[in-house]
């Protein structure tokens, strides 16, 4: 196995010619796609991977400077697609991976046919003309709490992220996933995620993109999804009849249906 495939713990399965690549969100890993990815294996080559620092990736490859912005993760995505000799892939991304996918597609549009963003947010912090869902002080407090007590923050935030109290096992699973990360890497990735601003990058994404939105979503509200759609040159938005930030876990059938309808 090459360094790139080992670094990102790449897994492949499926029958099709075209590749569909699933990219997980903050604190998660490729296992979070287990309810969705198998639905595509008859028609596509399915590719799963872990971002460096997450899941079963090669943690020794984590470079604080490289991953000090989302560009470092986007570079990894490009490396991975080149290593697998893939072009015109469908890239399905959750949460922060949506902006990672956007950066990669802006840099190398030849590698992507379509992007599907689930719960994207280009900027979490409100300003005068933009609603991101959080004030600057909210995010500063979140980052400070995370710095001081990562495990406590994790057990508090995961039910908020999942947003489906009738499915507590999913909040527990997400909490376990958060807690399995190296705390220093988790804190660093959180700062990069929550303090970032990728609004200006949206206009550079020339690949057709579906924004999959739930309501309510405490992390990426509906207004944010609408902003992303409006600022993508080829954006389209679908609102699922589901709530919470992880519909691929809480409402996988609706998520699969939305993706398949978009892909035609």
What secondary structure, in 3-state letters, does the chain show? CCHHHHHCCCEEECCCCCEEEEECCCCCCHHHHCCCHHHHCCCCEEEECCCCCCCCCCHHHCCCCHHHCHHHHHHHHHHHHHHCCCCCEEEEEECHHHHHHHHHHHHCHHHEEEEEEECCCCECECECCECCCECHHHHHHHHHHHHHCHHHHHHHHHHHHHCCCCCHHHHHHHHHHHHHCCHHHHHHHHHHHHHCECHHHHHHCCCCEEEEECCCCCCCCHHHHHHHHHHCCCEEEEECCCCCCCHHHHCHHHHHHHHHHHHC
Q: To which residue do tokens 């897994």 refer? A: 11
pLDDT band at 2 (very low <50, low <70, confident <90, very high): confident
pLDDT band at 254 (very low <50, low <70, confident <90, very high): very high
Q: Which of 95, 97, 121, 177 is catalytic?
A: 95
Q: Has 245 been annotated as catalytic?
A: yes
Q: Has 57 been annotated as catalytic?
A: no
Q: What is the overall mean pLDDT for the chain?
A: 96
> Are 7 and 52 spatial neighbours (Cβ–Cβ below 8 Å)?
yes
Average pLDDT over residues 79-91: 97
Question: Does residue 231 have a pLDDT over 70?
Answer: yes
- pLDDT tens sequence across 204-226: 999 999 999 999 999 999 999 99
Domain edges within the chain:
3-123+198-263
Of 3.40.50.1820, 3.40.50.2000, 3.60.20.10, 3.10.20.30, which CATH number belongs to 3-123+198-263? 3.40.50.1820
Q: Which of 51, 97, 217, 248 is catalytic?
A: 217
Classify residue 211 by burial, with Cβ atoms within 10 Å: 0-12, 13-18, 19+. buried
pLDDT at 221: 97
pLDDT band at 95 (very low <50, low <70, confident <90, very high): very high
Is the full-model pTM beyond 0.95?
A: yes
What is the percentage of the chain residues whose pLDDT exceeds 70?
Answer: 100
What is the percentage of the chain residues whose pLDDT exceeds 90?
Answer: 94
Average pLDDT over residues 38-60: 97
Find residue 92's DSSP bridge partners. 22, 116
- pLDDT tens sequence across 130-170: 999 999 999 999 989 988 999 999 999 999 999 999 999 99
Q: Has 197 been annotated as catalytic?
A: no
Question: Does residue 1 have a pLDDT over 70?
Answer: no
Average pLDDT over residues 5-29: 97
CA distances (Å), origin 91, targets 152, 192, 210: 33, 21, 10
Question: Does residue 179 have a pLDDT over 90?
Answer: no
């Amino acid at each position: 196995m090459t360094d790139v495939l080992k670094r990102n713990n790449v897994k492949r399965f499926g029958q099709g010619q075209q590749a569909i690549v699933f990219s997980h969100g903050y604190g998660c890993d490729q296992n979070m796609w287990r309810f969705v990815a198998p639905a595509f294996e008859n028609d596509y080559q399915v590719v799963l991977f872990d971002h460096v620092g997450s899941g079963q990736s090669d943690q020794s490859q984590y470079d604080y400077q490289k991953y000090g912005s989302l560009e470092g993760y986007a570079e990894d995505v490009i490396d991975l697609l080149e290593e697998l000799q893939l072009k015109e892939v469908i890239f399905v991304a959750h949460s922060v991976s949506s902006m990672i996918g956007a950066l990669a597609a802006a840099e190398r549009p030849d590698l992507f046919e379509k992007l599907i963003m689930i719960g994207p947010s280009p900027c979490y912090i409100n300003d005068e003309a933009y609603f991101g869902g959080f004030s600057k002080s909210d995010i500063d407090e979140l980052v400070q709490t995370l710095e001081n007590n990562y495990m406590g923050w994790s057990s508090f935030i995961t039910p908020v992220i999942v947003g489906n109290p009738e499915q507590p096992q999913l909040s527990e699973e997400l909490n376990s996933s958060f807690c399995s990360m190296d705390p220093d890497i988790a804190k660093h990735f959180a700062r990069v995620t929550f303090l970032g601003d990728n609004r200006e990058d949206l206009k550079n994404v020339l690949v057709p993109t579906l924004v999959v939105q739930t309501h309510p979503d405490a992390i990426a509200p509906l207004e944010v999804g609408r902003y992303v759609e409006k600022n993508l040159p080829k954006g389209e938005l679908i609102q699922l009849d589901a709530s919470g930030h992880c519909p691929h876990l809480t409402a996988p059938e609706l998520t699969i249906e939305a993706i398949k309808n978009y892909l035609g």
